[in-house]
């Protein structure tokens, strides 16, 4: 006889028996810790809907209500008991993550724009398998853990892998495949021949099987051409034979689809080869891009004569509007245009350890040349994005990012790649020791220039004066630090409009939506207070806030200090007017169902609809009649005035032929002795009936009989399913329960909001005012210990190009916020003279606006555009003029051409690939995020002084 192992038998029994919440929590913690301990690239993680995950966390931690995916974050220590038990969640439901319109042919796809914690959680494979064993459900979304970065390998979960469309050459058939960016071409190359088919052009043959798809510049959603071997021959064999190129092991050699049409090398001057480029700096790019890949990008036709320049858009490669907005502002910065349109190869610094081997500058310069070509077709900046992602993995993939963060990286990266200092000297700063500020500032600036000398420093860097004062010994410490841009805080407090539908628990009024304004950083108690005023709440009433999802109550917002940032704009929030002492009464929740018209009526298929209703049973309620009376009362406002019977009496009876074998209880309304004119019905017998079913703790419907009503004495709430017949819907207006408004309807068109006093100068005053530091931020050499000093910033030296960042986004540990405050900024004649502490200089501190980066929408999404004042209009060759900047003509004798300035200096709107004229009145909006100013010369200031400064209220 075989003796079974006792431990195995016990484990099988444990797995078969449902676990308690404490056991589930403990098991998940152990599995999670083990997964993190052995974490490595290639491990599988699973995407779980945050809605389901929160319900599970509330089930295992009812007193915490934590929604973090980390099971170690709020673990119960010792033998501490839960205050109240949460309901066991149902099956794992990831349907809200599925992209609409996808089928199972290649696996379901995730919706774009999902945010971790807000929309989904990532759990290790072992945890997912155990949750699936306990709860079932799905669908499953497996994602791989990959490494990112150059020097340090950071492990991240690739939530959105590459989604490629495979186009078969001879048939045109299209199929879709998802593959990791860290996968290799060899993984696709075993059975097919693959071309980069971006914009329906054969750009490059994907041959090198050890190259990652990210390095091949493949974009999500783009086409790749698949050539399938037919009758022992490849479709490209004819092309190969024409070029005399061989292949082996089914790997086709590179076919030059079309010669380069660029008349410029990547970092050189004009080439003379019948219009085709004969020079290409490939060593700097480590062979990561060939000539066909570079010059076959959409829309680039070289720098040619005639036509308009600088009005070319950038294609959106998938949430890259932030990059397009920032790039359009930079490529229209006059000093950068002058620099990158000439031969700047000698300026490239490949030896700088802080740089990127000159590759970022080369890619930016090549992109700028394409955008200043005469072609109006939008450019696809694939090569630039690939280089950017290579050196800055935070910008890889296709999530939305901050345009200002990209600008900061680009300016710093361009500076290091173009730094003229090959070997940075070590310089020790000296103490001021009572010397004049002018002398100390000049010394700091000279030390900075000794280590940093580039086109970016020449035109884009200024200097702060930073003053620290010890509060104890009054020691003053002064330093002069460089800056690349000004990040100005907004002194306004922004509000948020929220729409909530209010239902009356006593059935006295019809449902009514109310829109109120609350602080964006407020809490649920602020929303409740505003709603109470809006709906004229009585002294003996209170509001119960609820989030409704999928026709069910998803969660109660009963915590008055829950931040409003946890409520999304597309959530459905409902408030119920209940007695102030409702917590001591039995709460009755009504869920609605109607017959599914898509099924045979004899099969009695029911589906949920509408918004749940909540009321309270009176004290002493013990019978089904009490429930029926409450249901009749709460649905009374839905009654159609001309067709609803007068519900004078209620009769409970058993259905003679119950559906689905259940003994359902009917609630019936009969005509009373009142006149026929007040009690007419839409049916012949003047009778409407509802099926009332009790929902047990497992979520199943059961008959509402006396045995089931024992729950009235043991529970604080009872859930009832109300089944509506066609006759009921004729008598009652169920549309009042459906199509409730979302919290807020967001859009890209934002209203201009004028706020007196919120000007660019008030933002600058807030930035420059004295403020206390953290207690440990300063070590006082006089006191020999850390002190909470005060800090004061002043502007000492201003650059030719002044970049102003309006800090609209704020982040904290618990929430993110965006300020939509309108900032009134000057378009011309921005006078900063009074803010500059450096005296005795003859240079002007008057600036004019030439570019704006805009952000429309809210956190975690939205859209970026740019407004640019384009001055250069056309190209001409053999310039007779000498090089002058920034006068009316900008010529480049070494290249043999010059740029003629447009006398109108017109504004244009750059919205990805769409470029359109704009007026000055359109520039100043509440979407302005980054402002670009250039210094005015004395003669320009004199001319502008005759015009009215554009600081009036926008229309």
Residue at token pair 């490494």: 147
Q: Rounded to whole angstroms, how far apart are CA atoms 441 and 752?
A: 41
CB 345 within 8 A of CB 283: no
* Catalytic residue (one of 163, 193, 321, 639): 321
H or E stretch at 874: strand 863-877
- CA–chain centroid gap for 922, Å, is 25
Angle between the N-to-C axes of helices 382-391 and 359-371, in degrees from 0 to 180, rounded to the nearest 10: 160
Using a 10 angstrom Cβ sphere, with 0-12 exposed, 13-18 middle and 19 or more buried, the burial of residue 137 is: middle
Burial 815-833 (b: 16+ CB within 10 A, else e): eebbbbbbbbbbbbbbebe
Local structure of 776: helix, strand or coil: coil
34: DSSP letter: H
Q: Rounded to whole angstroms, how far apart are CA atoms 893 and 167?
A: 48
Structure tokens at 741: 């408004």
CB 84 within 8 A of CB 62: yes
Shortest CA distance to 863 belongs to which of 911, 907, 821? 911
Q: Is 863 a catalytic residue?
A: yes
Give 51-62 as a DSSP string: HHHHHHHHHH-T
H or E stretch at 499: strand 495-504
Q: How many residues does the chain have?
A: 955
184: DSSP letter: B
Q: Rounded to whole angstroms, how far apart are CA atoms 361 and 284?
A: 11
Shortest CA distance to 604 belongs to which of 691, 477, 481? 691
Rounded to the nearest 5 degrees, what angle is found at the Cα of 480, between the Cα atoms of 476 and 485?
Answer: 130
Residues whose CB falls within 8 Å of the CB of residue 215, separated by 6 or more in sequence, listed in order: 288, 386, 390
* Catalytic residue (one of 401, 592, 855, 863): 863
Q: How far is CA 300 from CA 90, 334, 382, 552, 874, in A?
A: 55, 21, 13, 54, 16
Q: Rounded to whole angstroms, how far apart are CA atoms 705 and 697?
A: 16
Q: Where are the alpha helices (DSSP H) in 275-432?
A: 291-295, 321-331, 334-340, 359-371, 382-391, 403-417
Phi/psi region, residue 802 (left: phi>0; alpha: psi -120 to 50; beta: rest), is: beta
Using a 10 angstrom Cβ sphere, with 0-12 exposed, 13-18 middle and 19 or more buried, the burial of residue 369 is: buried
CB 85 within 8 A of CB 21: yes
CB 468 within 8 A of CB 790: yes
Structure tokens at 378: 């939008």
Q: How far is CA 602 from CA 575, 597, 724, in A?
A: 37, 11, 16
Q: How far is CA 51 from CA 90, 99, 561, 695, in A?
A: 11, 17, 20, 21
Q: Is 321 a catalytic residue?
A: yes
Give 545-613 as a DSSP string: EEEEETTEEEEE---TTSBGGGS-TT-EEEEEEEETTGGGSEEEEEEEEEE-TTS-GGG--EEEEEEEE
Catalytic residues: 321, 863
């Amino acid at each position: 006889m075989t003796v079974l192992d006792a431990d195995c038998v016990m484990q099988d029994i444990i797995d078969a028996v449902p676990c308690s919440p404490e056991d589930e929590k403990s098991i998940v913690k152990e599995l999670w810790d083990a997964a993190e301990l052995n974490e490595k690239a290639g491990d599988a993680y699973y995407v779980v809907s945050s809605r389901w995950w929160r319900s599970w966390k509330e089930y295992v931690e009812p007193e915490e209500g934590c929604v973090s995916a980390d099971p170690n974050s709020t673990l119960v220590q010792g033998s501490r008991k839960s205050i109240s038990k949460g309901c066991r969640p149902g099956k794992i439901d990831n349907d809200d993550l599925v992209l609409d319109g996808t089928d199972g042919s290649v696996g379901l796809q995730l919706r774009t724009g999902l945010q971790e914690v807000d929309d989904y959680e990532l759990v290790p494979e072992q945890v997912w398998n155990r949750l699936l064993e306990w709860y079932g459900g799905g669908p499953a979304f497996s994602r791989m853990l990959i490494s990112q970065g150059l020097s340090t390998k950071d492990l991240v979960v690739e939530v959105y892998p590459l989604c490629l469309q495979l186009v078969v050459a001879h048939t045109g058939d299209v199929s879709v495949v998802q593959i990791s960016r860290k996968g290799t071409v060899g993984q696709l190359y075993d059975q097919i021949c693959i071309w980069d088919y971006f914009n329906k052009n054969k750009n490059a043959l994907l041959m090198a099987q050890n190259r990652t798809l990210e390095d091949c510049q493949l974009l999500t959603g783009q086409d790749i051409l698949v050539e399938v071997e037919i009758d022992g021959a490849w479709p490209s064999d004819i092309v190969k034979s024409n070029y005399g190129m061989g292949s082996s092991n089914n790997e086709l050699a590179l076919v030059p689809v079309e010669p380069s049409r660029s008349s410029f090398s990547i970092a050189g001057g004009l080439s003379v080869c019948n219009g085709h480029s004969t020079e290409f700096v490939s060593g700097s790019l480590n062979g990561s891009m060939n000539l066909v890949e570079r010059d076959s990008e959409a829309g680039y036709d070289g720098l040619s004569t005639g036509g308009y320049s600088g009005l070319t858009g950038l294609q959106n490669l998938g949430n890259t509007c932030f990059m397009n907005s920032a790039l359009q502002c930079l490529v229209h910065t006059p000093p950068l245009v002058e620099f990158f349109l000439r031969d700047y190869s000698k300026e490239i610094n490949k030896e700088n350890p802080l740089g990127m081997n000159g590759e970022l500058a080369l890619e930016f310069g090549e992109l700028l040349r394409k955008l200043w070509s005469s072609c109006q077709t939008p450019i696809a900046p694939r090569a630039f994005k690939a280089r950017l992602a290579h050196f800055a993995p935070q910008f890889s993939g296709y999530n939305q990012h901050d345009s200002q963060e990209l600008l900061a990286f680009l300016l710093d990266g361009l500076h290091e790649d173009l730094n003229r200092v090959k070997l940075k000297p070590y310089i020790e700063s000296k103490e001021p020791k009572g010397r004049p500020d002018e002398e100390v500032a000049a010394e700091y600036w000279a030390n900075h220039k000794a280590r940093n000398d580039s086109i970016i420093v020449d035109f884009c860097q200024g200097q702060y004066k930073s003053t620290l004062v010890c509060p104890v010994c009054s020691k003053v410490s002064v330093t002069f630090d460089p800056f690349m841009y000004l990040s100005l805080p907004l002194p306004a407090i922004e509000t948020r409009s929220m729409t909530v539908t209010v239902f009356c628990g006593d059935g006295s009024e019809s449902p009514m939506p109310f829109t109120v304004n609350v602080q964006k950083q407020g809490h649920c108690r602020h929303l409740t207070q505003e709603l109470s005023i809006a709906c004229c709440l009585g002294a003996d009433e209170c509001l119960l806030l609820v989030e409704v999802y999928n026709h069910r109550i998803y969660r109660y917002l009963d915590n008055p200090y829950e931040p409003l940032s946890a409520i999304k704009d597309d959530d459905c929030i409902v408030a119920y007017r209940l007695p102030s002492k409702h917590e001591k009464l039995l709460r009755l929740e009504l869920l609605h169902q109607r017959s599914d018209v898509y099924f045979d009526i004899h099969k009695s298929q029911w589906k949920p609809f509408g918004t749940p209703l909540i009321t309270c049973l009176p004290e002493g309620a013990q019978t089904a009649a009490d429930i029926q009376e409450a249901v009749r009362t709460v649905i009374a406002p839905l009654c159609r005035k001309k067709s609803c019977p007068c519900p004078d009496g209620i009769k409970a009876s058993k259905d003679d032929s119950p559906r689905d074998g259940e003994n359902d209880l009917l609630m019936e309304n009969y005509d009373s002795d009142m006149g026929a004119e007040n009690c007419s019905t839409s049916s012949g017998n003047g009778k409407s009936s509802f099926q009332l079913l009790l929902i047990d703790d497992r979520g199943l419907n059961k008959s509402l009989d006396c045995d089931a009503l024992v729950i009235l004495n043991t529970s604080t709430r009872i859930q009832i399913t109300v089944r509506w017949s066609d006759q009921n819907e004729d008598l009652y207006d169920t549309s009042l329960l459906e199509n409730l408004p979302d919290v807020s309807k967001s859009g890209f068109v934002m209203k201009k909001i004028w706020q007196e006093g919120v000007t660019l100068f008030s933002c600058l005053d807030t930035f420059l005012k004295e403020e206390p530091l953290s207690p440990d931020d300063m070590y006082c050499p006089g006191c020999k210990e850390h002190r909470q000093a005060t800090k004061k910033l002043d502007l000492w030296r201003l650059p030719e190009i002044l970049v102003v960042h309006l800090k609209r986004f704020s982040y904290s540990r618990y929430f993110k916020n965006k300020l939509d405050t309108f900032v009134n900024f000057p378009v011309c004649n921005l006078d900063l003279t009074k803010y500059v502490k450096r005296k005795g200089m003859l240079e002007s501190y008057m600036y004019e606006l030439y570019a704006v980066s805009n952000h429309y929408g809210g956190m975690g999404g939205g859209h970026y555009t740019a407004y640019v004042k384009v001055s250069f209009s056309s190209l001409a060759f053999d310039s007779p003029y000498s090089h002058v900047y920034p006068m009316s003509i900008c010529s480049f004798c070494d290249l043999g051409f010059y740029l003629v300035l447009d006398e109108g200096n017109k504004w244009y709107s750059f919205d990805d690939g769409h470029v359109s004229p704009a007026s000055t009145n359109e520039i100043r909006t509440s979407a302005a995020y980054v402002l670009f100013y250039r210094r005015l010369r004395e003669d320009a200031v004199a001319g502008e002084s005759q015009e009215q400064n554009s600081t009036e209220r926008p229309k």
